[in-house]
Amino acid sequence: MGLVANDYGIGDVSYDGPCPPTSLTPQVHHYVFTVYALDTKLPTLPSFGQFLPGSEALYNALVAAREGGHILDSASISGFYSAAAPPGP
């Protein structure tokens, strides 16, 4: 079976961006994307069969990197997504 990395289909690893289901509330979502400059390589994150490492594994690896003094800098950018119709006139 191929790698399932997003909801586009098996084998498609392209980025499909933040797009929560319209059934979720609230229908307006705030996303924060953060990149980190490290002076070391993170260890290979654990995966479970066909399941890729989750956000918790990455979070724990970054906590360990910070505790070891390996995070040199970081930068964040925020984005918003709304599934709700814009307000009328």
25-76 residue pLDDT tens: 767 778 888 999 999 998 888 777 767 777 788 888 999 999 999 999 999 9
Q: What pLDDT is recorded for position 86?
A: 63
Q: Are 36 and 76 in contact (CB under 8 A)?
A: no
What mean pLDDT is predicted for residues 7-34?
71
Q: Which pTM does this prediction carry?
A: 0.61
Q: What pLDDT is recorded for position 72?
A: 97
Q: Which two tokens stand for residue 58?
A: 């990455």
Q: Which residues have CB under 8 Å from 53's CB, separation 6+?
A: 45, 46, 47
Of the candidates 66, 71, 89, 76, the one whose C-alpha atom is nearest the C-alpha of residue 31 is 76
Q: What pLDDT is recorded for position 2?
A: 45
What is d(CA 51, CA 1) in angstroms, rounded to the nearest whole number? 12
The count of other CB atoms within 10 Å of the CB of residue 82 is 10
Lowest mean pLDDT among 7-11, 20-24, 45-49: 7-11
What is d(CA 79, CA 32) in angstroms, rounded to the nearest whole number? 6
